[in-house]
Amino acid sequence: NAGVMQNPRHLVRRRGQEARLRCSPVKGHSHVYWYRQLPEEGLKFMVYLQKENIIDESGMPKERFSAEFPKEGPSILRIQQVVRGDSAAYFCASSSGQVGTGELFFGEGSRLTVL
């Protein structure tokens, strides 16, 4: 079974450009989570989505950041007008959502560098 697939693995953008990060969850998983990690730090929750719905976006900055998980296709984390402070590793995770199963399956991350 393929795990969580994220692309691109590395992305370089100049200030003011847009960054789009993609995440394909484990086959059959309908719950997707996005996290952000700065060097030597833990993961900061950003957003939790189910197919076509945002369930919890309490960790998402109010401006410039958006996320979607359409009925067909991967989940997308979009960062508009990037700034240097957006440089980080962005991790996507998925779960089946079945009661009693609590673990998240993580992708290898997308590392964004803003010049």
Partner 1 sequence: SQQGEEDPQALSIQEGENATMNCSYKTSINNLQWYRQNSGRGLVHLILIRSNEREKHSGRLRVTLDTSKKSSSLLITASRAADTASYFCATRGAGGTSYGKLIFGQGTILTVHP
Residues that bind partner 1 (CB under 8 A): 4, 31, 33, 35, 41-45, 48, 55-56, 59, 91, 93, 95-109
Task: Give the whole-angstrom CA distance, residue 25 versus residue 27.
Answer: 6
The least distance separating partner 1 from the CB of residue 54, rounded to whole angstroms, comes to 12
The least distance separating partner 1 from the CB of residue 105, rounded to whole angstroms, comes to 7
17 or 113: CB nearest partner 1: 113
Task: Give the whole-angstrom CA distance, residue 37 versus residue 97.
Answer: 24
Max CA separation in the chain (angstroms):
44
18 or 38: CB nearest partner 1: 38
17 or 96: CB nearest partner 1: 96
On whether the CB atoms of residues 50 and 41 are closer than 8 A, the answer is no
Determine the 3-state secondary structure of 86 from DSSP.
helix
